[in-house]
Structure 1
Amino acid sequence: MSTLADPAPSSADAPAPLILDGASLTARTVGEVARRPTPPSLQLDDDAVARVGLASALAADLSTRRVVYGRTTGVGANRVEQTAGADLTGHGLRLLRSHAGGTGNRLSPRQVRATMLVRLNQLLNGHSGVSPEVVGGLAEAVRTGARPVVHRLGAIGTGDLAPLAQIALALAGEGAWEVGPAPDPVAFGAGDALGFLSSNAATLAVASIAATRLDVILAASHVVAALSYLALEGSPEAYAEPVHRARPHPGQVRCAERMRDLLGMRDTPPKGRRIQDPFGLRAFPQVNGPALDALEYLHAVLDIEMNAGSENPLISVEHGDAYHHAHFHTAYVATALDQARATVHQVAELSAARLGDLVEPDQSGLRAFLADGPPGSSGVMILEYVSHDALAALRQAALPATLGTAVVSRGLEDHASFATQAARAAGDVADAYTRVLACELVAAVRALRLRGDDLSHLPLAPAFRRALDALDDRTEDRPLTPDLAAAAALITDPGWSAV
């Protein structure tokens, strides 16, 4: 099993015990390990280590009796090239060297750590045929916090070949380490090389970090929307339990229930200022709900992938054979990421709409742009421009990656999922949505200050108090950049929305 204590670590926390068994690691665990400033206190399950040894022995034996892709042959279109009688250790190293062609920016430290953790867990599943020595070397690097140099570009959703080759070459003693101490070099035999490369661990790592960030941001979106609801004197009917029981999509029901919890809607609350609110308030559960559901589905897909025997060929100790297949193709991951990004974009649109309501006197009952100065004061006028700039960036990042296609390796590999690009875009969506929500939060808190409302009796009062403390209380015209930075820090803090 994999376990991780303390879901919201601080820099003062000791690393939580983490046990890997190749079967129960989760994307949320990966995201939390990546956030920690120190490497995990790692333990490998004994049964999983034994599976690695059995699969390695079987793969070596099969390679003496039959053709096994990547072990007795070249790879890709070179699958017809036989390596029998060649220097098999040299074959493995040549494979790593030729595929370590990543370029562009380096993966971030947390992305590299997450990639190594995911790949280690997958290898413990026991289907790669990689030697126990290679698995041990990777485990030691994860334990000590050693970090190889890994570049961002070099994958299209059919195996993270370039990033994983750079990690493997570092383990073999040839590649560069960005942070040490480097573990003792391990030998990569002919079967170890492809077995190590045959994974989408980097894509899964980047996706897991983005999904975990979106967990936090979507949770914050409920608090921000609730504050806007109070500032705009919204109608409680839109969140009423009978309404959502009548069309019980899981995410929609969760969102409406969370809004009732934050706003203390236990008894029949008083009516709002309007018989019906604008969509930004009234349709929030119907738009936020699909994002919650899509994110849960994304987590479920990632959890399956990081515990899967995805290597090609798959070495089956149970059946005593090797199977050639297409588990390297990540259509599930790509489509789940596309769906999650698209649904988050819609939620962000509602945040920009609520910001427009907050600066409109007919909706807020306050001065235009929440100004509090001489006639012609601009107040928070600039926030709409900032919000829509960020929303435009989010819109671009939400475009489907799965509409792309590729034909490579002399036509043999004639389709790609582009899950790698979808995972990167998910991180961009998290960045942009944070900025959109920060604009709304700054405006909502200012509106509530101007109204002078007492929220101390409401469940969201602790979050409101923290926002009051974090945001400048001056309401004259002034630069709002520091306020936006402080608001973004609240939105990305898991503790802020956990009220």
Structure 2
Amino acid sequence: MPHSHSVNGVASAAPTTQPVLVGEARLTLDDFHAVLYGGRHISLAPAALERVAASYEFLKRFSTGKLIYGINTGFGPMAQYKIGDADLHALQLNLIRSHCTGLGNLLPPLEIKALMLARLCSLLRGYSGVHPELVHLLGELINRDLLPCIYEHGGVGASGDLVQLAHLALALIGEGEVLDRGRVRPAGEALREAGLTPLTIHFREGLALLNGTSAMAGVGVVNLLAARRVINWCLLLSGTINQLVEAYDDAVSAELNAVKLHPGQAAVAAALRTLNEGSDLVRQRHEVLYKEENHATDVLTDKVQEYYSLRCVPQVLGPVLDAFRQAEQVVLDEVASVNDNPVVDFENENVFHGGNFHGDYVAFEMDKLKIAITKLAMLSERQLNYLLNDKLNQKLPPFINTGKLGLNFGLQGMQFTATSTVAECQSLCMPVYVHSIPNNNDNQDIVSMGTNAAVIARKVIGNAAEVLAIHAVAVMQAVDHLGVAGRLSPRCRAAYEQVRAVFPQVLADQPHFLRLRQVVALIQSEDLGLL
């Protein structure tokens, strides 16, 4: 899998491989990774373009002489007002312009691009009645990294991510602002310079762009990619710490974990067994404690079992992995779904009204994902505490301090940051899914708040990467103090060298924040591919 060299920005390297085909097979996380991080272009599937054209032509014929929501009526609670033919074009433009009310921070470029790709996937299903010009232009903006300025605050996640997607639509019609290679520019100017013609509004494009879950889904996809990295790093560090303390291997054995019938636990245990391959540090219980001579003493100096944070990694990370896999399934289902209203079904020659724009599926999964990643951060912090507390590990000096005790402080200062960051994760775990507030004159009387859920989940996942960075420094400090780098398994040794390349062993007190940021960047950019 290609890896990004940019975490907060869109990869700028010119694509050198086959474009990712959109509109045929469902996109996977790896497809998104290729576009967002690998610089891959996209291409539009011919069959999908045919569906889009057929849907548009059907809606144009079908809507004549009929009242269809959002085509010749007002929107939301004003749907009872019929709109005359002379105002149909203005109706769509008014919808776009009036809903560009986003505030707060700009979404990061990666999330904006993922949002655009998610919207494109939905439109290419051919159930939206939009002119083919729209999907072509949206595809061009994605390939040219012309990213509409879209803000965190505004969407309630039902009737779609209206405010966020209005800002997408605004840029498509040549108004508002775009990010062009990190610089905010007027959208019309950027389109002209790129040789692109702004979108022509026909009779459906405004509503089809605004009604949808693509903001929460786009942020959700980026969250999943980031979560996959932190899960893999937590697994790697958990394996390394069990090696360096010479834990017993039966805690990750196939036999023990097979009798607990959860796929995540089995997968984590299997990955830990693979991580242990090539290391002579992890011990076999029958070779140490099941021998007759070990019965000669009443008090054992060696631990019979490790603390839970070391021994129960499959049981703690297993649910995290299962939550991740469920979220991956749901979010990618949403990306591949038709999530606007009404649904234009040209094959059955009908238009169906309902609520596919409702974001509860994504909102619920983002809440569950942030809870799972918070538990991961808690596991990481407990393993960190074990390493720093000499009374617990009985192998290392306090705070793995290689200097003069009392005069020097080792990694003491880092623990404060890890602990406070975990506490923030815990405080962010209140589910957004249950925070529905009626609005829109009570037309939207129950909503998902899905974009809020995705944005908060992003914060938690970013926090977890920071905790893992401190954890990684402590693990490698312990490896050096015990002199066991050469006895680690090859996978753990490789990670040790990656961390040491940006953060050398702490031998004296000095400011650590700049190098810690480099470790955070490593964790946020390197997908270890263990799970």
Q: TM-score range by the shorter chain?
A: over 0.9
Q: Rate the CA distance shift 1:496–1:135 in 2: closer, same or farther, 3 A.
A: closer
- Could you say what secondary structure the match of 2:79 adopts? helix
* Range with bigger deviation, 181-190 or 387-396: 181-190
- Could you say what secondary structure the match of 2:433 adopts? helix
Q: Which amino acid aligns with 1:473?
A: Q
Q: Which amino acid aligns with 1:371?
A: N
Correspondence for 1:7: 2
Correspondence for 1:216: 229
* Range with bigger deviation, 383-392 or 266-275: 266-275
- Could you say what secondary structure the match of 2:486 adopts? coil
The separation in 2 between residues aligned to 1:115 and 1:22, in whole angstroms, is 18
Correspondence for 1:270: 284
Select the residue among 236, 258, 261 that pairs with 2:249: 236
Q: Rate the CA distance shift 1:285–1:333 in 2: closer, same or farther, 3 A.
A: same
User: Could you tell me how far 1:210 is from its partner in structure 2?
Assistant: 0.9
The separation in 1 between residues aligned to 2:524 and 2:530, in whole angstroms, is 12
Q: Rate the CA distance shift 1:188–1:354 in 2: closer, same or farther, 3 A.
A: same
The separation in 2 between residues aligned to 1:336 and 1:108, in whole angstroms, is 21
The separation in 2 between residues aligned to 1:315 and 1:307, in whole angstroms, is 16
Q: Which amino acid aligns with 1:462?
A: A
Q: Does 1:71 pair with 2:71?
A: yes
| RMSD of aligned alpha carbons | 2.2
Q: Rate the CA distance shift 1:349–1:93 in 2: closer, same or farther, 3 A.
A: same
Cα pair 2:174 2:191 within 8 Å, conserved: no
Deviations 1:120-146 (A, max 9, x none): 121100011111122222122222222
Correspondence for 1:45: 45
Correspondence for 2:21: 19
* Range with bigger deviation, 326-335 or 481-490: 481-490
Select the residue among 407, 418, 426 that pairs with 2:438: 407
The separation in 2 between residues aligned to 1:9 and 1:344, in whole angstroms, is 22
Cα pair 1:490 1:496 within 8 Å, conserved: no
The separation in 2 between residues aligned to 1:400 and 1:169, in whole angstroms, is 31
The separation in 1 between residues aligned to 2:527 and 2:370, in whole angstroms, is 24
The separation in 1 between residues aligned to 2:80 and 2:257, in whole angstroms, is 59
Select the residue among 410, 417, 420 that pairs with 2:448: 417
User: Could you tell me how far 1:350 is from its partner in structure 2?
Assistant: 1.3
Deviations 1:269-289 (A, max 9, x none): 434842111111111111101
Correspondence for 1:343: 372
The separation in 2 between residues aligned to 1:476 and 1:227, in whole angstroms, is 24
Q: Which amino acid aligns with 1:8?
A: H
The separation in 2 between residues aligned to 1:211 and 1:233, in whole angstroms, is 33
Q: Which amino acid aligns with 1:418?
A: M
Q: Which amino acid aligns with 1:107?
A: L
Correspondence for 2:187: none
User: Could you tell me how far 1:366 is from its partner in structure 2?
Assistant: 1.8
Q: Rate the CA distance shift 1:15–1:213 in 2: closer, same or farther, 3 A.
A: farther
Cα pair 1:394 1:432 within 8 Å, conserved: yes
Select the residue among 504, 507, 518 that pairs with 1:486: 518
Select the residue among 312, 323, 326 that pairs with 1:283: 312
* Range with bigger deviation, 350-359 or 224-233: 224-233
User: Could you tell me how far 1:265 is from its partner in structure 2?
Assistant: 7.6
Correspondence for 2:8: none
Q: Does 1:156 pair with 2:156?
A: yes
The separation in 1 between residues aligned to 2:132 and 2:117, in whole angstroms, is 16
- Could you say what secondary structure the match of 1:403 adopts? coil
- Could you say what secondary structure the match of 1:138 adopts? helix
Deviations 1:361-400 (A, max 9, x none): 2314121111122231321112221111110121123321
Scaled by the length of structure 1, the TM-score of the pair is: 0.93
User: Could you tell me how far 1:187 is from its partner in structure 2?
Assistant: 1.2
Select the residue among 358, 362, 366 that pairs with 1:333: 362
Q: Which ranges of 4 or more aligned residues in structure 1 deviate by more than 6 Å? A: 265-268
Q: Which amino acid aligns with 2:76?
A: G
Deviations 1:240-294 (A, max 9, x none): 1111011131111111111111112899943484211111111111110111111
The separation in 2 between residues aligned to 1:193 and 1:210, in whole angstroms, is 28
The separation in 2 between residues aligned to 1:161 and 1:82, in whole angstroms, is 22
Q: Which amino acid aligns with 2:107?
A: L
Cα pair 1:93 1:189 within 8 Å, conserved: no
User: Could you tell me how far 1:429 is from its partner in structure 2?
Assistant: 1.2
Q: Rate the CA distance shift 1:414–1:230 in 2: closer, same or farther, 3 A.
A: same
- Could you say what secondary structure the match of 2:448 adopts? coil
Select the residue among 324, 338, 342 that pairs with 1:295: 324
Correspondence for 1:366: 396
Q: Which amino acid aligns with 1:156?
A: V
Cα pair 2:70 2:204 within 8 Å, conserved: yes
Q: Does 1:140 pair with 2:140?
A: yes
The separation in 1 between residues aligned to 2:123 and 2:44, in whole angstroms, is 11
* Range with bigger deviation, 282-291 or 22-31: 22-31
Q: Which amino acid aligns with 2:2?
A: P
- Could you say what secondary structure the match of 1:247 adopts? coil
Deviations 1:461-490 (A, max 9, x none): 222222233322242333332442232233
Q: Which amino acid aligns with 1:177?
A: V
Select the residue among 210, 226, 237 that pairs with 1:197: 210
Correspondence for 1:166: 167
Q: Rate the CA distance shift 1:144–1:489 in 2: closer, same or farther, 3 A.
A: closer
User: Could you tell me how far 1:322 is from its partner in structure 2?
Assistant: 0.3
Q: Which amino acid aligns with 2:284?
A: P
Q: Which amino acid aligns with 1:490?
A: L
The separation in 2 between residues aligned to 1:324 and 1:263, in whole angstroms, is 56
Cα pair 1:30 1:114 within 8 Å, conserved: yes
User: Could you tell me how far 1:296 is from its partner in structure 2?
Assistant: 0.8
Cα pair 1:62 1:68 within 8 Å, conserved: no
Cα pair 1:28 1:208 within 8 Å, conserved: no
Q: Rate the CA distance shift 1:132–1:497 in 2: closer, same or farther, 3 A.
A: closer
The separation in 1 between residues aligned to 2:227 and 2:445, in whole angstroms, is 33
Q: What count of residue pairs does the alignment treat as equivalent? A: 492
Correspondence for 2:348: 319
User: Could you tell me how far 1:491 is from its partner in structure 2?
Assistant: 1.9
Q: Which amino acid aligns with 2:247?
A: G
Select the residue among 371, 377, 394 that pairs with 2:425: 394
The separation in 1 between residues aligned to 2:528 and 2:118, in whole angstroms, is 29
Long gaps (5+) in structure 1: 1-5
Q: Does 1:357 pair with 2:386?
A: yes
The separation in 2 between residues aligned to 1:370 and 1:203, in whole angstroms, is 42
- Could you say what secondary structure the match of 1:410 adopts? coil
Correspondence for 1:3: none
The separation in 1 between residues aligned to 2:327 and 2:134, in whole angstroms, is 30
Identity %: 27
Q: Which amino acid aligns with 2:438?
A: V
The separation in 2 between residues aligned to 1:396 and 1:494, in whole angstroms, is 28
Q: Which amino acid aligns with 2:15?
A: A
Q: Does 1:428 pair with 2:459?
A: yes
* Range with bigger deviation, 329-338 or 83-92: 83-92
Q: Which amino acid aligns with 2:437?
A: A
Q: Which amino acid aligns with 1:176?
A: E
- Could you say what secondary structure the match of 2:42 adopts? strand
